[in-house]
Amino acid sequence: MRIAFLHTRIRVEERLLLDELERRGVEIELLHADEAALDITADAPPRPVDALFDRCLSNTKACAIVRAFTSWGVPCVNPPEALENCADKGRTTALLRRAGVPSPRTILAFSPESALDAADDLGYPVVLKPAVGSWGRLVARLRDRDALEAVLEHKATLGGVQHGVIYLQEHVDKPGRDIRAFVVGGRTLCAVARYSEHWITNTARGGRTENVPLTPELDDLCARAARAVDPSDSGDSGGTSSGGGAAALAIDILEHPERGPLVNEVNATMEFRNSIAPTGVDIPAMLVEHVLARAEAGAGAQGAAA
């Protein structure tokens, strides 16, 4: 079996995944996003592959490349719809709301004036995020109108498409932690609590992790969040990583003191290096197993069509 491995950097996660693929005897076609040149008018990819495993850090490049491979009938993890639904926080939030998944109150604004009015409606402090972004970068907790005005002035001065959409969210007074759960193929594998002295608990910014038991309530919330962004998820994983959705997702959850758990974000290129030891779950092996299952399912579908 040959798997195209789309990447931009080989970090710890990518190294673990590549090692697992090699351990299983899989032929790996390394595809660096910056070096790809795809003839999308052709009937097939440059080299035949059984699936594409996306670990690209650029949402824009990943979505375009995955769309191309999908058009050639190559199963992709993640599929393009899930990638695109998770890349834009506004789209993610809207899909969660439509699916009835509880999430923090969020307002999209499109000018400094409307953003200030929205913040007054939400109540301070407010959280300002880029509509597209990760690792907690450019995320700010703003305690009053003066602070928000200053940040909005900077955004207006910087210009650019990324600053044209202002994503404002209510601040959730969480108990010093948030929860990240890992859903692969419609199945919740495990979850961790992320602790930090900083209000942003992302482990990329130094947060520590510990295992969180998977309760039926947490499992159900994660499954519903995954289905909201992954159209391929039928909701029936059958207890295996190949029976539900096509996507592999990380679900970030905030614990509201009154409203309970709220899904904050859904991430399509999960980081998991700090979650393997506390959970005892071999996340790289589960991801690779899922990719290979998607490849086999794709080969079976093509054979039936032939």
The tens digit of pLDDT for each residue in 7-53 reads 999 999 999 999 999 999 999 999 999 999 999 999 999 999 999 99
Ranges in the chain annotated CATH 3.30.1490.20? 105-170
Average pLDDT over residues 199-223: 84
Classify domain 2-86 by CATH architecture.
3-Layer(aba) Sandwich (3.40)
Average pLDDT over residues 79-88: 95
CA atoms within 13 A on the CB side of 173: 6
The domain made up of 105-170 has a fold known as Dna Ligase; domain 1 (3.30.1490)
Helix (H) or strand (E) holding 32: strand 27-32
Cα end-to-end distance, the chain, whole Å: 19
The tens digit of pLDDT for each residue in 92-122 reads 999 999 999 999 999 999 999 999 999 999 9
The tens digit of pLDDT for each residue in 128-167 reads 998 887 666 778 999 999 999 999 998 888 777 677 899 9
How many whole angstroms separate alpha carbon 253 and alpha carbon 151?
A: 26
The pTM score is: 0.90
The domain made up of 174-288 has a fold known as D-amino Acid Aminotransferase; Chain A, domain 1 (3.30.470)
Closest to 295 in 3D by CA, of 79, 82, 75: 75
Ranges in the chain annotated CATH 3.40.50.20? 2-86
- Does residue 264 contact residue 106 with C-beta atoms inside 8 Å? no
Ranges in the chain annotated CATH 3.30.470.20? 174-288
Peptide bond into 78 cis (omega under 30): yes
Instruction: Give whole-number Cα distances, 205 to 59, 87, 134, 136, in Å.
Output: 21, 20, 11, 8
Which residue is it, tokens 């039936």?
304
